[in-house]
Amino acid sequence: MNSVVRTVAFWFAILLCAFLFWQAVKTVGNAQKEKEITLSEFMSDVDQGNVHDVTFVGQEAKGKLKNGTAFHTVVPPNYPDVYKKLREKGVTLIIKDISNDPWPTWIATAAPLFLLGVGAFWLFIIAALGFCLIRQMRSRRSGGDGPSSSTPSQDSRPHFGS
């Protein structure tokens, strides 16, 4: 493989790892900023008019209170009164279907497998190079019958039987 291609592949792998690490840190950072509240607290805030907007993704409800505090809670799927009450209070509703966007799930699932495969590939390359270097050093130590000789020595032929 050309050294330029190897260098580009190496830097691409480094940048991909850095991007995935940044995404993981960003996701953890966003999750820590949101206050987890119970469904009872959520409904109480809705009744008092404290909820500004809510985004439903599956059963999870994320949103902001009017004072700017971010929150999240889980709303059971068989609880339609939540939507009715939110509309009555003038809360901005966004409902996202989790089945329509498989890319984040696919990337999160495939990224570790891809990185494992890249690591295994490089481990194989390093082991193969190490094996070649050890073989070359042994052949030089045993008298110089290396790859440059035109005829194989008597000892290098395979032996079958005893």
pLDDT digits (tens, 9 = 90+) for 127-154: 989 888 888 888 888 765 555 555 555 5
Do the beta carbons of residue 61 and residue 54 sit within 8 Å? Answer: yes
Confidence (pLDDT) at 125: 92
Residue 36 — left, alpha, or beta (φ > 0 → left; ψ -120 to 50 → alpha)? beta
Quick check: is 6 in a domain?
yes
Within a domain: 61: yes
Q: CATH code at 44?
A: 3.30.720.210
Instruction: Please identify, among 101, 129, 156, the residue that sits at the C-terminal boundary of a domain.
Output: 101
The tens digit of pLDDT for each residue in 12-35 reads 988 888 888 888 777 665 555 678
Q: Is residue 22 part of a domain?
A: yes
What's the DSSP call for residue 157? Answer: S
Q: Phi and psi dihedrals of 146, rounded to 5?
A: -100, -165
Query: In total, how many domains does the chain have?
Result: 3
pLDDT in tens, 88-115: 988 888 888 776 666 777 787 788 888 8
Q: Which residues pair with 61 in a beta bridge?
A: 56, 73
